[in-house]
Structure 1
Amino acid sequence: MSKPAKQAIGQQILAAFRAAGAIEVAPDILLPAETLLDLYGEDIRARAYVTQDPIRGEVMLRPDFTVPVVQMHMANGAEPARYCYLGEIFRKQDHGETQPEHPRDNEYLQAGFELFARDSGADAEVFALFHSILAPLGLQATMGDMDLVMDAVRALPVSDARRAALLHHVWRPRRFARLLARFAAAPAPRNFAETSALWTGLRSPQEMQARIDRLQADALEAPLAPEWVARLERLFAIQAPAPEALRQLRAMTAEIPDIAEAVERLDRNLALLSDRGVDVGAIHFDASHGRHTMEYYDGMTFSFTAPGRADWPPVASGGRYDALAAVLGQAQGRAIPAVGGIIRPGLVHELGGLR
């Protein structure tokens, strides 16, 4: 596929974003690595292209547009604001020592839209915009809600330390499941023998002692009751057309009252989407959807996938990231809710274009 063909599709998408009121921006390709690593964690290092600059220090080829766009907005943006962009991002896709038969592109084009607004209808606005642009392709729309998931985890009757550990790993389903199973089992005894030997290691004696204290306190905590594990697993497993999923979630509020607010917000979002002409019965709701997306999403998440192309990444994806915007706005004393998403013009082209 030629770059001009992908660029032409990208410009078509960009025109639709501009027609929706967005201002086009062009973030740098080479970004300071420190901020990205702080926000995404060291996991991003395994997928990003990182190098060393003698003056700027560690830098990274742009793995994502959202962070630089948020930084730009927090520095001098007005409220509300809509931005769009088109450009390459760079991510390592295939792991191992040999090239797979069908390698995924490490450099590919993204077209994106970001909305900064305090309007409660922002989620529906962004989802409906992507739905409208992609309508000719016959994609499957899927929606999730990370706020719903995290509210359920916060409701668990465990210590603050255990709750924080579960929330930290909620985007890593396998690690989360192992951690939940450990917290539900009888604690293993820990014996930290007294010794006169010198403390050695990269951490200070105070840090090591604090770690020992946390492990000893954890060993004294009662196991998480099995019914709470079952509730969480049932919630995470909900997958159905959005109206049916909403019915199931309402039923679960009797067992996990803390999710009631998120369930009501989902109800409002679906009503707003219906008002915008979206067939909400055709939206697939997956309660665990956001656990497989970027870690900064903390509210609604969505993706549009191509049926019969299970080996493809989503053609489009996005969601709400209020916490990320708040963190990046700390230096300016600003915080504003934000939601956005991206479309891959290359995949749109392979599906025949937008016509």
Structure 2
Amino acid sequence: MSKREKQAIGQQILAAFRAAGAQEVAPDILLEAETLLDLYGEDIRARAYVTQDPIRGEMMLRPDFTVPVVQMHMANGAEPARYCYLGEVFRKQDHGETRPEHPRDNEYLQAGFELFARDPEADAEVFALFHDILAPLNLQASMGDMDLLMDAVRALPLSGARRAALLHHIWRPRRFARLLARFATPAEARSFPESGAPWTGLRSPAEMQARIDRLRGDAAEAPLAPQWVERLERLFAIGAPAPEALRQLRELVAEIPDIAEAVDRLERNLAALAARGIDVGAVHFDASHGRHTMEYYDGMTFSFAAAGHEDWPPVASGGRYDALAAVLGQAQGRSIPAVGGIIRPGLVHELGGQILGKAA
């Protein structure tokens, strides 16, 4: 497949985004790494191409469009706006010392749409836009809600430090499961004998003492009751057509009242999608969906995947990232909710997507 063919599909998608009122932008390919790498999360940090500039310091090839677009918007104001873009992103895909038989592209094209709005129906608008563009490809639409999971973790009767640790690893299911299991068993007391030897190491004496104090405090914590572990595991395992998932979540609200607001929001989003002509019964709701997406998503997440191509990444994906917008706007005292997503024109072309849906 030539770059020209991918670009042609990308331009069709871009036209659909412009028709939805988006202004086209083109973030730099080479970005300052220091601030941005901290915002991407561990997965993208490990896969970014980073280099050293003698004057500008650490720089990286653009691994994503959302963060630089948000950075641009929050620097210029926090008013409602919508943007679109088309260009390459760069990520290390393959780990290990040998080249895989079917390597994934380290450089690939993305077309994206970002909506900054205080409209409660923004989630439904963005999902419906992507759904309509991709409709002829008969993709499987899936959605989740990271706020739902984070509210459930925040409701656990644990210390702030333990809740923070679980929230930090919520995008890493195996680590999260190990941590939850450890918190559900009595902590082992740690011995820290007094010594007259000088402090040594990369950390300062104050940092090391703070770490010792945290470990001592953690050892004194009571284990998490089994019913809370069971409730959390049931929540994370919910996967069903969206209306059925909503019913299961309603039942869980009685046991985890803190998720009620997120469940109400899901119900409103599904109603808004149905009003836009989308069959919500064909949308798969996976409570853990957002745990496999970008770490800056903190609300609704969505993806569109090609059946029979389980080894592919999603053809399209996105979600809500209010906290990211708030972090990048805090220096100017600005904040506005935001939601967006990307489509991979290369995968659309491989599926024969020469003509996109009604949104195009």
TM-score (norm 1): 0.99
1:3: which partner in 2?
3
CA distance in 1, matches of 2:187, 2:101: 46
CA contact (8 A) 1:136 1:354 kept: no
1:338: which partner in 2?
338
Greater relative CO (CA pairs within 8 A, separation 6+): 2
2:326: which partner in 1?
326
State the 1:40 CA deviation: 2.3
CA contact (8 A) 2:113 2:342 kept: yes
Aligned residue for 2:175, secondary structure, equals helix
CA contact (8 A) 1:242 1:280 kept: yes
State the 1:333 CA deviation: 1.1
Structure 2: where are the runs of 5+ without partners?
Answer: 356-360
1:219: which partner in 2?
219
Superimposed CA distance per residue, residues 196-252 of structure 1 (whole angstroms, 9 cap, x where no aligned partner) = 111001111011001000000000000000000000000000000000000000000
Q: 1:185 aligned to 2:182? A: no
User: Any residues of structure 2 matched to 1:1-355 within 5 Å, and which?
Assistant: 1-77=1-77, 79-355=79-355
CA contact (8 A) 2:78 2:335 kept: no
State the 1:41 CA deviation: 4.1
Superimposed CA distance per residue, residues 85-127 of structure 1 (whole angstroms, 9 cap, x where no aligned partner) = 0000000001111111110000000000000000000000000
- Residue type at the aligned position of 2:7: Q
CA distance in 2, matches of 1:77, 1:4: 36
State the 1:253 CA deviation: 0.2
**Would the alpha carbon gap of residues 249 and 350 (structure 1) be closer, same or farther in structure 2, given more than 3 Å must change?**
same
CA distance in 2, matches of 1:2, 1:232: 47
State the 1:332 CA deviation: 1.5
**Would the alpha carbon gap of residues 354 and 123 (structure 1) be closer, same or farther in structure 2, given more than 3 Å must change?**
farther
- Residue type at the aligned position of 1:267: E
- Residue type at the aligned position of 1:44: I
CA distance in 2, matches of 1:65, 1:284: 26
CA distance in 2, matches of 1:227, 1:42: 31
CA contact (8 A) 1:137 1:354 kept: no
CA contact (8 A) 2:44 2:91 kept: no
CA contact (8 A) 2:78 2:336 kept: no
CA distance in 2, matches of 1:217, 1:149: 26
CA contact (8 A) 1:149 1:236 kept: yes
CA distance in 1, matches of 2:48, 2:252: 39
Aligned residue for 2:113, secondary structure, equals strand
CA distance in 1, matches of 2:79, 2:193: 58
Aligned residue for 2:100, secondary structure, equals coil
Q: Tell me whether 305-314 or 70-79 shows the greater mean CA deviation.
A: 70-79
CA distance in 2, matches of 1:70, 1:206: 36
CA contact (8 A) 1:146 1:298 kept: yes
CA distance in 2, matches of 1:320, 1:287: 15
Superimposed CA distance per residue, residues 266-321 of structure 1 (whole angstroms, 9 cap, x where no aligned partner) = 00000000000111000000000001100000000000000010000000000000
State the 1:44 CA deviation: 2.8
Superimposed CA distance per residue, residues 136-176 of structure 1 (whole angstroms, 9 cap, x where no aligned partner) = 00000000000000000000000000001000110111110
CA distance in 1, matches of 2:62, 2:139: 28
CA distance in 1, matches of 2:136, 2:152: 37
Number of equivalences:
355
Structure 1: where are the runs of 5+ without partners?
Answer: none
* Identity percentage of aligned residues: 86
2:358: which partner in 1?
none
Aligned residue for 1:221, secondary structure, equals coil
- Residue type at the aligned position of 1:260: A
CA distance in 2, matches of 1:254, 1:101: 50
CA distance in 2, matches of 1:350, 1:44: 25
- Residue type at the aligned position of 2:16: A
CA contact (8 A) 1:329 1:335 kept: yes
Q: Which structure 1 residue ranges, 4+ long, deviate > 6 Å from structure 2?
A: none
State the 1:77 CA deviation: 4.3
State the 1:43 CA deviation: 4.2
CA contact (8 A) 1:89 1:107 kept: yes
Aligned residue for 1:329, secondary structure, equals helix
- Residue type at the aligned position of 2:207: E
